[in-house]
Amino acid sequence: MFDLQALLDSLPMMGYGMLGIFIAVAVIILVVAALCKIFPVKK
């Protein structure tokens, strides 16, 4: 019922997916930080 080999075979693909999510979030954070520097909030 539980296929350990299938889990081990799918780990690299899951790793690439997590890496892609991490990179996308990092890019969004960097863009927001850059926009905050370019267009500062005026009080």
| DSSP conformation letters of the chain | ---HHHHHHHHHHHHHHHHHHHHHHHHHHHHHHHHHHHSPPP-
pLDDT in tens, 12-38: 999 999 999 999 999 999 999 999 999
Structure tokens given for 5: 């080999």
pTM recorded for the entire structure: 0.74
In this prediction, residue 43 carries a pLDDT of: 79
Checking if the pLDDT of 41 tops 90, the result is: no
Express the helix, strand and coil content of the chain in percent, nearest 5 each.
Answer: 80, 0, 20
**Cα distance between residue 8 and residue 3, in whole Å:** 9
